[in-house]
Amino acid sequence: SLCQNILEGCETIFGVCIIIKLNESLSKFLPHDETLKNSIYSLCTVPNGRAHGGSFAHRGELRQAKRIVVKLGSAVVTRGDECGLALGRLASIVEQVAMLQNQGREMMIVTSGAVAFGKQRLRHEILLSQSVRQALHSGQNQLKDMSLPVLEARACAAAGQSGLMALYEAMFTQYSTCTAQVLVTNLDFHDDQKRQNLNSTLQELLRMNIVPIINTNDAVVPPPEPNSDLQGVISIKDNDSLAARLAVEMKADLLIALSDVEGLYNSPPGTDDAKLIDIFYPGDQQSITYGTKSRVGIGGMEAKVKAALWALQGGTSVVIANGTHPKVTGHVITDIVEGKKVGTFFSEIKPAGPTVEQQTEMARNSGRTLASLHPDQRSEIICQLAELLTEKKEEILAANKMDMDLAVSAGHLPPAMLKRLSLSPAKLNSLAIGLRQIAVASQDSVGRVLRRTRVAHNLELEQITVPIGVLLVIFEARPDCLPQVSALAIASGNALLLKGGKEAANTNRVLHQLTQEALSMHGVREAVQLVSTREEVEDLCRLDKMIDLIIPRGSSQLVRDIQRAAKGIPVLGHSEGICHVYVDADASVDKVIKIVRDSKCDYPAACNAMETLLIHRDILRTPLFDQIIDMLRTERVKIHAGPRFASYLTFSPSEAKSLRTEYGDLECCMEVVDSMQDAVDHIHKYGSSHTDVIITENEDTAEQFLQQLDSACVFWNTSSRFADGYRFGLGAEVGISTARIHARGPVGLEGLLTTKWVLRGDGHTAADFSEHGTMKYLHENLPVGQPLAGRRDSN
């Protein structure tokens, strides 16, 4: 409110300066309050999201870019042999530009390629001319080896310019988009009258919804002079500088510079430890080392960075990205405009906190120390966190009330989500109890010996449990997930990166601070990190070199989106919770009513709630069937009839659109089956391998169901709602997995461990065991509890 009053009472530029100074002061007192800082920074932007007279501060704001310049480097436009154009690549770029133009944006292209196109044409003409002359002189068709003269670049440009433009025009015509050619030189920018004429021409073309295709007039341009920039003005030495100069002149919102590298690296790409820089800030030039320039063109990465910084200073946002990669070229421009993490984004505003890459690195380093702690120390951390949940109860609930009030006033969260968002003293007490269970279980987790083998004399092997590495847990509006998952990560010695829903931002912030406070007691504060930047989930899923496992906690749509977005990172979770309850012919009436009510009505939004009720055919038109229907009606459960069930009824409920539906509400599908085997077949066909239940008094039938059904959880005479880590005695869970490998069902501590093999020898070699060697394999299994000879106990 104070910041808004400042902006209303001052001229905008002075108001922004005051607010920035205020934010610097607040940072000293609230160093970890990223939400507050981001909120204050957001007030320093005009309605369209741009800072006053400046560029966009965050990638997400690029969606608001209205006027966009796309610079196509020589390596993007030309083929690998440098003679001719990469037509497929060019066509996909044209399609993206046309699509953005048709969305109402103003698009301009700065293109290379005239020299390459002209070189192709001139070579063809020279070869044709030489072959004709040779044929006339020799009188025969056999041609001798012909050498081509070195072609002068300006002549190639003159020959290729018209053909290049004709190609662009033909491509854009396919999308009903008109283009116009504009050739420029340095004089067009240095001469005020010419610069005004150029500006006027381009403005008029954009007003008429025409895409200007701009290039330096390479047929007449002189060779570039080194270090010829005027003070405060960038000279037109290449298309990088042309694009930057043009973007600033035309007050473009965004300049996209496409080249043959992924973006800007801290050292030349391909060298050891070279890392792609996600966001580059002015003043960071000293932290990078430039390599050689690309295979074609006259500008290198250093020229691109210089041009980008000049454009940024002039108020235009810049992204440098790869326009040649076959897997991304078809959507690289649209991805950038949508704010996705592509290439290197140039920003003037450096965030107060670390980047997500830095957070991941901090978590990994601290996580290795966490894994090396004694089990008692990890247990102490978890017990301390449990104590803090009780001690700081009022602070947690106050933050949660802020989130609840905001969610209710916004009115966009359904009741089920609001219930998940809400915390209470009872919930916090349950959390603390669960954490203490995890603390006990952590005593026998990391470093547990699973197998011991005497391979040969003085050569002994162990298989032991170890942490997976860095976990990324993405969860929606459920703040109780944060301490649960943190405790499991601590117990298993894993580093943890948390991305919570914005609806629970205040609660998550407090809970994370308490988690780090508990971790500090043994010097591993940074092992659990909360991502509070504007990082998109899809961008996090691309950190395949930094994250070892992704665990989504939330709706089936969230899980599916993450499974689709994950690039080379395993995802542990279930996309759907289509749980079945089968009522057998030998079922008990009391158990049926009780179990079906609890499975559907206890928490309809949960992934372990019943979604399909299967009824044995013999139960139809019996008092039990009537009681089931009456109970569901009393609980206001909407019934959708399966095709077989509908065929038995004269007036049936609405027919189910699909037998594979997760309703997540007081709705369910009801279907009829002929037998237990029929029920199993139905579940295998339409279920999601989550949790399925049989209600019967026939033990043989029940055992067949439990053995035959291939689901993560199979229950007999109990509610599907028991599929939960806390109820299983795991203390908590990071999620429920329906995968066929690694962890399955509620995933607790055990599911966050993997194994490694430790072999202890005494100068052994493989040659010792060859046909002519002196040693023989023994492969004797040893008791797990028996110490190995010469083993040093790390604890």
433 near 387, Cβ under 8 Å? no
Tell me, yes or no, whether 229 lies in a domain.
no
Other Cβ atoms less than 10 A from the Cβ of 233: the count is: 12
Q: Per-residue pLDDT tens for 515-564? A: 999 999 999 999 999 997 766 787 788 888 899 999 998 777 888 888 88
More confidently predicted of 475 and 271: 475
Cα(775)–Cα(388) distance, integer angstroms = 58
- The angle, 0 to 180 degrees and rounded to 10, between the axes of the packed helices 505-519 and 393-410 is 160
Instruction: Please report the pLDDT score of residue 371 as a whole number.
Output: 94
Whether the predicted pLDDT of 222 surpasses 50: yes
pLDDT interval class at 781 (50, 70, 90): very high
Per the prediction, the chain carries an average pLDDT of 85
Give 774's contacts (C-beta < 8 A, 6+ positions apart).
768
Tell me, yes or no, whether 64 lies in a domain.
yes
Q: Are residues 339 and 366 in the same domain?
A: no
Instruction: Please report the pLDDT score of residue 36 as a whole number.
Output: 53
Query: Which domain, by its residues, includes 439?
Result: 356-565
End-to-end Cα distance, the chain: 55
Cα(87)–Cα(80) distance, integer angstroms = 12
Q: What is the mean pLDDT of residues 303-331?
A: 89
Q: Are residues 338 and 360 in the same domain?
A: no
Q: What is the DSSP string of 217-265?
A: -TTTPPPPPTT-PBTTB---SSHHHHHHHHHHHTT-SEEEEEESSSS-B
Cα(501)–Cα(486) distance, integer angstroms = 16
* The pair of three-digit structure tokens given for residue 585, joined into one six-digit string: 């012919």
Instruction: Please report the pLDDT score of residue 161 as a whole number.
Output: 84
Instruction: Please report the pLDDT score of residue 767 as a whole number.
Output: 93
Whether the predicted pLDDT of 787 surpasses 60: no
Whether the predicted pLDDT of 97 surpasses 60: yes
Q: Per-residue pLDDT tens for 430-462? A: 999 999 999 998 888 898 999 999 999 999 999
Residue finishing a domain among 733, 751, 773:
733
User: Among residues 103, 110, 111, 113, which one has the least CA distance to residue 175?
Assistant: 103
Q: What is the mean pLDDT of residues 148-175?
A: 83
* The pair of three-digit structure tokens given for residue 9, joined into one six-digit string: 């009472």
CATH number of the structural domain spanning residue 275: 3.40.1160.10
Residue finishing a domain among 565, 597, 626:
565
Q: What is the mean pLDDT of residues 73-91?
A: 80
Q: How is residue 630 annotated by DSSP?
A: H
Tell me, yes or no, whether 779 lies in a domain.
no
* The pair of three-digit structure tokens given for residue 73, joined into one six-digit string: 């480097």
Cα(616)–Cα(618) distance, integer angstroms = 6
Helix (H) or strand (E) holding 450, with range, is strand 449-456
Tell me, yes or no, whether 27 lies in a domain.
no
Tell me, yes or no, whether 639 lies in a domain.
yes
Cα(289)–Cα(745) distance, integer angstroms = 49
Q: What is the mean pLDDT of residues 566-591?
A: 91
CATH number of the structural domain spanning residue 414: 3.40.605.10
pLDDT interval class at 235 (50, 70, 90): low
Tell me, yes or no, whether 81 lies in a domain.
yes
Q: Are residues 451 and 516 in the same domain?
A: yes
pLDDT interval class at 286 (50, 70, 90): low
Instruction: Please report the pLDDT score of residue 7 as a whole number.
Output: 46
- Upper half-sphere CA count for residue 17 (Cβ side, 13 Å): 6
Instruction: Please report the pLDDT score of residue 403 as a whole number.
Output: 95
Q: Are residues 341 and 370 in the same domain?
A: no
* β pairing state of 638-641 and 667-673: parallel
Instruction: Please report the pLDDT score of residue 32 as a whole number.
Output: 53
For residues 188-207, b (16+ Cβ closer than 10 Å) or e, as one string?
bbeeeeebeebbeebeebbe
Q: Are residues 400 and 498 in the same domain?
A: yes
Whether the predicted pLDDT of 101 surpasses 60: yes
Beta bridge partners of 111: 72
Q: What is the mean pLDDT of residues 152-164?
A: 80
pLDDT interval class at 47 (50, 70, 90): very low
Tell me, yes or no, whether 738 lies in a domain.
no
Whether the predicted pLDDT of 273 surpasses 80: no
pLDDT interval class at 13 (50, 70, 90): very low
317 near 254, Cβ under 8 Å? yes
DSSP SS3 for 355: coil
Residue finishing a domain among 346, 365, 392:
346
Q: Are residues 297 and 433 in the same domain?
A: no
730 near 436, Cβ under 8 Å? no
Helix (H) or strand (E) holding 749, with range, is none
Instruction: Please report the pLDDT score of residue 42 as a whole number.
Output: 45
What is the amino acid identity at position 255? L
Q: Are residues 372 and 481 in the same domain?
A: yes
Q: Are residues 390 and 518 in the same domain?
A: yes
Whether the predicted pLDDT of 468 surpasses 80: yes
Beta bridge partners of 780: 454
Lowest-pLDDT choice from 52-56, 400-404, 465-469, 743-747: 52-56
User: Among residues 358, 423, 365, which one has the least CA distance to residue 389?
Assistant: 423
Q: Per-residue pLDDT tens for 420-433? A: 899 999 999 999 99
701 near 584, Cβ under 8 Å? yes
pLDDT interval class at 70 (50, 70, 90): very high
Cα(751)–Cα(742) distance, integer angstroms = 7
Q: Are residues 277 and 408 in the same domain?
A: no
More confidently predicted of 335 and 83: 335
Instruction: Please report the pLDDT score of residue 398 as a whole number.
Output: 96
Q: What is the mean pLDDT of residues 346-364?
A: 87
* The pair of three-digit structure tokens given for residue 273, joined into one six-digit string: 């430890």
Q: Are residues 513 and 607 in the same domain?
A: no
pLDDT interval class at 134 (50, 70, 90): low
Cα(180)–Cα(202) distance, integer angstroms = 9
Cα(516)–Cα(518) distance, integer angstroms = 5
Number of domains in the chain: 3
pLDDT interval class at 130 (50, 70, 90): low
Lowest-pLDDT choice from 351-360, 398-407, 634-643: 351-360
Q: Over pLDDT 90: what percentage of the chain?
A: 54
Rg (CA), the chain: 33
The CA-based angle 707-709-714, given to 5 degrees, is: 85
Whether the predicted pLDDT of 229 surpasses 60: no
Q: Are residues 262 and 403 in the same domain?
A: no
Instruction: Please report the pLDDT score of residue 147 as a whole number.
Output: 59
Instruction: Please report the pLDDT score of residue 296 as a whole number.
Output: 45
Q: Are residues 337 and 454 in the same domain?
A: no
